């Protein structure tokens, strides 16, 4: 076994530099650096079917606990050398790849994304061999394959003992198993006679567990949230919480049985770029009821609207909001620390000012996820950060202002509205800032999701 049980954050949907539209900085040392800075203990490798990335994984990773890997000592020493002592927690990798299947079923074209997880390099090699018949694995770290989703599941299960598949960002309009453009009305419909082997479902950036709980057919799945990071600084914007030993098979068992599954960490779903319906070209954003009133057409140009995740959830929901199934875990929410610092300081989240502020916060108080979710606000104030402490209190109380995303346009979430945080001396909030400027955008907003 992998040792004593511990509570930790896992991000099991990641991409390397070999996936399209991904940062050239997405190499193992920088992924490892950012994972520790975020407070992630188990990180997906991404892209293990890509031949160049697979070679780098084999060269840089060595076995750790069952089904998990760590960086070679000489590589890890260099990563740790540039991190503050507060951010040097354990880090393990698990082999993972996102696969896109393109096929026709039921008279419709289907483009569905899936996460494939395997416990060792032998299984990774076997799955790579099986998938190589269906597309060019060297062209993209997220390969697009001409095969049925059911057949991908079969190939994954046959790759090696303990291999499993999770539908990726299940509600995304074009690529989700339940998406409005090319998805299905149920997971079983997608995976057919093998559907019972699917036991977890990824929420995606535009939905959260509470939205999924409205659909009773999803009750049997453990909901997972991951970053789908296309650059290292975006790691941990969504994550899954486990309370198990460090062990690939313990993670898999937690998802199958609930034993050791604690819940998820999510951005507010309004920040996702497919939350509401709309037409980006005309700047039209609509609630589901408004879309129905316009018969699904843009009120400006008459073209079909992109139906967002909230609308699609309402189409399949058979329960009102507020229901909590027995399989549910904690449903934690965050606003990324750079966005909080940007609001406090009145500047953009990618500025050097914010970078220095976040460096100082994490050096003093530890990694981002524990800081946002666990560290007492009193401790943040004692570190000389009263405005950040106030932001964290607002976050934990869900006192946020939301401006939802639609049709590829990211939404924004603000903790202070337009007034800004109140300085410690009680004067009015800082001037020259707006709650809906670039300061509220997700860093890396060009990413796919």
- 146 pLDDT exceeds 90? yes
Whether residue 240 is contained in a domain is answered as yes
Whether residue 281 is contained in a domain is answered as no
- 425 pLDDT exceeds 50? no
Are residues 50 and 144 located together in one domain of the fold? Answer: yes
Return the bridge partners of 101, or none: 112, 145
Which pLDDT band, with edges at 50, 70 and 90, does 125 fall under?
A: very high
pLDDT value for 279? 98
- 360 pLDDT exceeds 80? yes
Residues 54-65: what's their mean pLDDT? 98
Q: How far apart are CA 273 and CA 441, in angstroms?
A: 11
Q: How far apart are CA 53 and CA 19, in angstroms?
A: 10
- 449 pLDDT exceeds 50? no
Whether residue 327 is contained in a domain is answered as no
Are residues 132 and 56 located together in one domain of the fold? Answer: yes
SS (H, E, C) the chain: CCCCCEEEEEECCECCCCCCCCCCCCCHHHHHHHHHHHCEEEEECCCCCCHHHHHHHHHHEEECCCCCEEECHHHHHHHHHCCCHHHCCCCEEEEEEEEEEEEEECCEEEEEEEEEEECCHHHHHHHHHHHHHHCCCCCCCCCEECCCHHHHHHHHHHHCCCCEEEECCCCCCCCCCCCCCCCCCCHHHHHHHHHHHCCEEECCCCCCHHHHCCCHHHCCCEEECCCCECCHHHCCCCEEEEEECCCHHHHHHHHHHCCCEEEEEEECHHHCCCCEEEEHHHCEEECHHHHHHCCCECCCCCCECECCHHHHHHHHCCCCCCCCCCCCCEEEEECCHHHHHHHHHCCCCCCHHHHHHHHHHHHHHCCHHHHHHCCCHHHHHHCCCHHHHHHHHHHHCCCCEEECCECCECCEEECCCCCCCCCCCCCCCCCCCCCCCHHHCCCCCCCCC
Which pLDDT band, with edges at 50, 70 and 90, does 422 fall under?
A: low
Are residues 262 and 341 located together in one domain of the fold? Answer: no
Whether residue 299 is contained in a domain is answered as no
pLDDT digits (tens, 9 = 90+) for 199-245: 999 999 999 999 999 999 999 999 999 999 999 999 999 999 999 99
Q: What is the residue whose two structure tokens read 């300085």?
A: 423
Taking all residues of the chain, what is their mean pLDDT, rounded to a whole number?
93
pLDDT value for 25? 97
Are residues 116 and 249 located together in one domain of the fold? Answer: yes
Residue 77, CA distances (Å) to 29, 40, 73, 134, 307 in order = 10, 18, 6, 40, 48
pLDDT digits (tens, 9 = 90+) for 270-283: 999 999 999 999 99
- 439 pLDDT exceeds 50? no
Whether residue 249 is contained in a domain is answered as yes
Residues 410-436: what's their mean pLDDT? 55
Are residues 36 and 177 located together in one domain of the fold? Answer: yes
- 59 pLDDT exceeds 60? yes
Q: How far apart are CA 236 and CA 244, in angstroms?
A: 19
Residue closest to 235 by CA, chosen among 436, 59, 394, 41: 41
Whether residue 1 is contained in a domain is answered as no
pTM of this structure: 0.92
Residues 409, 415, 421: CA angle, nearest 5 degrees = 135
pLDDT value for 3? 81
Residue closest to 92 by CA, chosen among 257, 293, 237, 242: 242
Packing angle of the helix pair 337-345, 386-396 (nearest 10 deg): 130
pLDDT value for 249? 98
Residue closest to 338 by CA, chosen among 444, 231, 449: 444
pLDDT value for 357? 97
Give the CA radius of gyration of the chain.
Answer: 21
pLDDT digits (tens, 9 = 90+) for 372-419: 999 999 999 999 999 999 999 999 999 999 999 999 999 999 999 755
pLDDT value for 420? 58
Are residues 255 and 341 located together in one domain of the fold? Answer: no
Residues 302-309: what's their mean pLDDT? 97
Are residues 247 and 396 located together in one domain of the fold? Answer: no
- 448 pLDDT exceeds 90? no
- 437 pLDDT exceeds 50? no
CATH number at residue 197: 3.20.20.140
- 115 pLDDT exceeds 50? yes
Are residues 263 and 142 located together in one domain of the fold? Answer: yes
Residues 134-148: what's their mean pLDDT? 98
CB-count exposure of residue 414 (10 Å: 0-12, 13-18, 19+): buried
Are residues 266 and 352 located together in one domain of the fold? Answer: no
Other CB atoms closer than 10 Å to residue 188's CB: what's the count?
15
The residue out of 253, 270, 287 marking a domain boundary is 270
Which CB contacts under 8 angstroms, 24+ apart, belong to 102-109? 102/144, 102/145, 102/146, 103/146, 103/147, 103/148, 103/149, 105/148, 108/182, 109/182
Residues 150-169: what's their mean pLDDT? 98
Are residues 175 and 257 located together in one domain of the fold? Answer: yes
Whether residue 290 is contained in a domain is answered as no
pLDDT digits (tens, 9 = 90+) for 232-261: 999 999 999 999 999 999 999 999 999 999
Token pair of 427 as six digits: 């004067």
Q: Which domain holds residue 351?
A: 337-440
Q: How far apart are CA 205 and CA 231, in angstroms?
A: 15
Whether residue 345 is contained in a domain is answered as yes
Which pLDDT band, with edges at 50, 70 and 90, does 426 fall under?
A: very low
Are residues 224 and 350 located together in one domain of the fold? Answer: no
Are residues 17 and 157 located together in one domain of the fold? Answer: yes
- 421 pLDDT exceeds 90? no
- 430 pLDDT exceeds 60? no
Higher pLDDT, 362 or 419: 362
pLDDT value for 2? 55
pLDDT value for 440? 26
The residue out of 241, 270, 299 marking a domain boundary is 270
Q: What is the residue whose two structure tokens read 């009102």?
A: 320
Number of domains in the chain: 2
The residue out of 218, 244, 270 marking a domain boundary is 270
């Amino acid at each position: 076994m992998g040792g004593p049980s511990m509570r930790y954050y896992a991000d099991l949907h990641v991409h390397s530099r070999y996936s399209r539209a991904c940062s050239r900085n997405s190499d193992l040392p920088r992924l490892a650096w950012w994972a520790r800075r975020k407070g992630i203990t188990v990180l997906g490798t991404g892209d293990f079917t890509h031949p160049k990335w697979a070679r780098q994984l084999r060269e840089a990773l060595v076995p750790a606990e069952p089904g998990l890997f760590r960086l070679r000592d000489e590589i890890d020493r260099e990563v740790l050398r540039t991190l503050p002592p507060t951010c040097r927690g354990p880090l393990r990798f698990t082999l993972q790849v996102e696969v896109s299947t393109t096929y026709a079923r039921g008279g419709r074209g289907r483009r569905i994304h899936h996460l494939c997880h395997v416990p060792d390099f032998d299984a990774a090699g076997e799955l790579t061999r099986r998938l190589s018949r269906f597309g060019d694995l060297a062209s993209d770290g997220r390969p697009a394959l001409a095969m049925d989703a059911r057949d991908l599941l079969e190939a994954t299960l046959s790759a090696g003992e303990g291999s499993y598949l999770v539908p990726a960002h299940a509600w995304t309009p074009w690529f989700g198993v339940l998406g409005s453009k090319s998805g299905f009305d149920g997971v079983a419909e997608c995976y057919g006679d093998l559907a019972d082997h699917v036991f977890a479902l990824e929420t995606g950036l535009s939905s959260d567990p509470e939205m999924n709980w409205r659909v009773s057919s999803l009750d049997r799945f453990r909901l997972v949230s991951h970053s789908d990071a296309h650059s290292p600084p975006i790691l941990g914007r969504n994550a899954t919480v486990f309370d198990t030993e460090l062990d690939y098979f313990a993670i898999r068992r937690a998802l199958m049985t609930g034993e050791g599954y604690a819940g998820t960490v999510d951005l507010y779903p309004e920040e996702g770029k497919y939350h509401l319906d709309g037409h980006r070209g005309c700047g039209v954003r609509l609630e589901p009821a408004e879309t129905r009133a316009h018969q699904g057409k843009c009120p400006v140009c008459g073209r079909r609207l992109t139906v967002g995740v909230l609308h699609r959830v309402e189409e399949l929901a058979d329960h009102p909001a507020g229901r909590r199934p027995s399989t549910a875990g904690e449903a934690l929410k965050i606003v990324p620390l750079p966005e909080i610092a940007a609001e406090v300081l009145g500047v953009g989240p990618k500025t050097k000012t914010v970078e220095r502020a976040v460096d100082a916060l994490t050096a003093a108080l530890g990694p981002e996820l524990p800081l946002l979710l666990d560290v007492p606000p009193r401790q943040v104030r004692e570190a000389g950060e009263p405005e950040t402490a106030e932001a964290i209190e607002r976050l934990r109380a869900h006192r946020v202002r939301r401006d939802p995303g639609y049709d590829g346009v990211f939404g924004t979430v603000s903790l202070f509205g337009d007034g800004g945080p109140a300085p410690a001396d009680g004067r009015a909030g800082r001037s020259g800032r707006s709650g809906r400027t670039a300061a509220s955008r997700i860093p890396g907003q060009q990413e796919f999701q």
